Structure 1
């Protein structure tokens, strides 16, 4: 009996993607709820948490490379009808991320202050930023487990399950924020500490529920004994083969963003706060491309496993144009109502006016992001994982960081210069990724051949045993 209850490759992009869209939106709302509720407490608290979350985004990359490898390998194994191989990859990836998560949690808790000092954080923001980083970072291993189990469930087509759990986490987080930030129902008024505690608690409970759903939806799928028999060299090798280049690209991006954050920190608290509010708003335009990219990755992974290369090629292109159209439209709507949106967070007119200008520039920025998020996911799903890293490092550091300093600091354009640099970076990478996809070189790089050889070898062994 197949462990997979759905033929994922035959699902429409919409059927697979809309729960992912809602899930990502809920994750973003979780961050926005923290920002919105903290903004009623103080703008300084918002800036402090924003810088700490910049560090957390780098840490999450370390978990994401295993989760990305899990999504691709499980999808390709299932597409090739190798359910045993898919299960082995799943258990290895879960354990790998638990170990990595615990190590990074200890690092963040013990070395939070030196890390924040290296970020050139204004002194008045140090203590609240440190409190948030130590609590949320101390529970980083929980986020590692969430990402890995979510990847396994989504590769099986159970995107709604992940969405429902994320919804529950959001409800808990908002309620916890209300109680602990402002001291409702007789609780202590904890401010930033309250936000951090609420975030850590809601994620911990979400992890427990996701693990229960994994066992329920995929009974007998996870061969835990496989880890005891011998070191899973093949699975670790394959996960690293996909994950390390993917992590390299993400680390290059997040590293460049941290350097850019240092540039912005030198501009003062107003610039830092404006950036946090602007990013929280434009994330809702970005999430369409993220959701379409993830859904496309799962579909292409299954198609590659079944050697349906031309369908995979066309699927990426259709997804790309949908992503560009939607993200552009949403960006235009955000600029149209920019003053009202920023007024939700703050009454500071300097922040509102500067933020509105950034949203105007975002109309050019978001289509470029759509190229990267959708086409890069397609390339990874097909096994072409190194090219995005090479181009990413070149563009993120050669264009985004360099022009951010030149335009933002040297020429004095401030955040406007930063946004121009980000736009140039996204468009350059996007165009190069599309050219790579159109070249179809990825057809020679898929993991399908190795997977099918394993199946054929296994079948040959069984036939030999039967003959004997």
Structure 2
């Protein structure tokens, strides 16, 4: 389905709600929803790279200090992003059923939740920025750099929270292209502000503080642009529930869908920190190779992530509309497409590994380790794509807890112990970590596929759309 076909009905513009069964056509193509999401993710990723480059122009100490505290801000902002995705799933299901008034009330309740959480996190990071930077081991000038950055960027968490909420609204309404333009606009503003506040010889040259202000102000500009898109361009209405019980019901529903979606990446991020410590114990060359190759594998992962988010939106609408046959078909096609794309890109990266690593480093040892890591991508990147797309299908039909619990248990029960044993006691070094990662990704993919095949079997599939109270399944 073409993007211009995703028109909102008059009810979403504040008009009549008569004779509306679904808010717009549900036969949207996953690709038409996914490619703008990919570019949105890429623009967000590039914004971080530009910040790092600007900090490197200031000094290595500035880049290293901000890189340390950035683990905290990245974690918090990632939570807002997944909270917005959880809300988007709720909106999509309501829109698929044509429940216009209900979804408008849900928008309002979600806005309140995002404001409350954003205010709390902004205040905490602003007030305790120095303490957090100190806990990360920063001292002296490094502590000053880290505190300055964290106080400004962390203190602007409310802006990020509201941006994630509006992004979820646009995505649920099929307006992924609009969200992409918002991310592009934010990126452009950030580049201009860094040039003016940090790099321009005639400018104030505010250093780390200038980079942080550029990021915060660009995010604020992106939020204003997103608000204009939602309220003026797309004309989506927010409605305050008249009954306080509805506020509680909508809030409980949003939390039920969002909390598991937020917990899994939180534990995943913690697992990445543990993985980094294991690789650091293996050797400095392997750690450097890991950091370099992540920039490549993360880009491949963005393709799978975009497909999974597009699939989640489409399936959410189809669940609301009750179209079980199309849910199964579109999920299967997207899974196969994601595996194929990840396999092709991983193979291309592996075949280009000499050229890629020569561009990153002059060290033969680092380059050799990096080439090994890129070839190992063939063992786990296709499975990673299968995990993302299958988990999106499960979440879209209300199975929000199973993917999260499976991810947490396998990551910490299988991957981390296996990575440690294979790499250090058994002496396989970085190859041991990659083998453990392949076991982890393929095992999780298998468990999720078994679950999807079970609940989507013809004799049980009818339950997927018969959820009048909108309570997500908690069975595992």
TMscore range, shorter length? 0.7 to 0.9
Partner residue of 1:186 out of 179, 196, 202: 202
Q: Does 2:44 align with 1:27?
A: yes
Q: Does 2:225 align with 1:216?
A: no
Q: Does 2:80 align with 1:53?
A: no
CA displacement at 1:120 relative to structure 2? 6.4
Mapped contact 1:383–1:447 kept (Cα < 8 A): no
CA 1:174–1:298 in structure 2 vs 1: closer, same or farther (change >3 Å)?
same
Deviations 1:378-421 (A, max 9, x none): 10011001111221121110122222333344455554443333
Q: Which residue of 2 aligns with 1:257?
A: 272
Q: Which residue of 2 aligns with 1:133?
A: 150
Partner residue of 2:118 out of 101, 121, 144: 101
Mapped contact 1:304–1:448 kept (Cα < 8 A): no
- Uncovered stretches (5+) of structure 1, i.e. residues with no partner: 454-468
Mapped contact 1:139–1:200 kept (Cα < 8 A): yes
CA displacement at 1:157 relative to structure 2? 1.1
CA 1:166–1:408 in structure 2 vs 1: closer, same or farther (change >3 Å)?
same
SS across alignment from 1:3: helix
CA 1:220–1:334 in structure 2 vs 1: closer, same or farther (change >3 Å)?
closer
CA displacement at 1:56 relative to structure 2? 2.8
How many residues align? The count is: 451
Partner residue of 2:80 out of 63, 77, 84: 63
Deviations 1:23-52 (A, max 9, x none): 112112222333445456666655544443
Q: Does 2:449 align with 1:449?
A: no
1:359-378 matches, within 5 Å, as: 359-378=374-393
Q: Which residue of 2 aligns with 1:239?
A: 254
TM-score of the two chains, using structure 1 as the length reference: 0.85
Q: Does 2:332 align with 1:314?
A: no
Query: RMSD across aligned C-alpha pairs, in angstroms?
Result: 3.2
Deviations 1:349-374 (A, max 9, x none): 55444333322222222112101111
Q: Which residue of 1 aligns with 2:348?
A: 333
Q: Which residue of 2 aligns with 1:3?
A: 12
* In 1: Cα distance, 2:116 partner to 2:369 partner: 43
TM-score of the two chains, using structure 2 as the length reference: 0.84
- Uncovered stretches (5+) of structure 2, i.e. residues with no partner: 1-9, 14-21, 472-476
SS across alignment from 1:85: helix
Mapped contact 1:180–1:195 kept (Cα < 8 A): yes
* In 1: Cα distance, 2:58 partner to 2:350 partner: 26
* In 1: Cα distance, 2:26 partner to 2:135 partner: 46
* In 2: Cα distance, 1:135 partner to 1:125 partner: 16
Q: Which residue of 2 aligns with 1:433?
A: 448
CA displacement at 1:324 relative to structure 2? 1.0
Instruction: Pick 1 or 2: higher relative contact order, CA cutoff 8 A, min separation 6.
Output: 1
Partner residue of 1:420 out of 429, 435, 440: 435
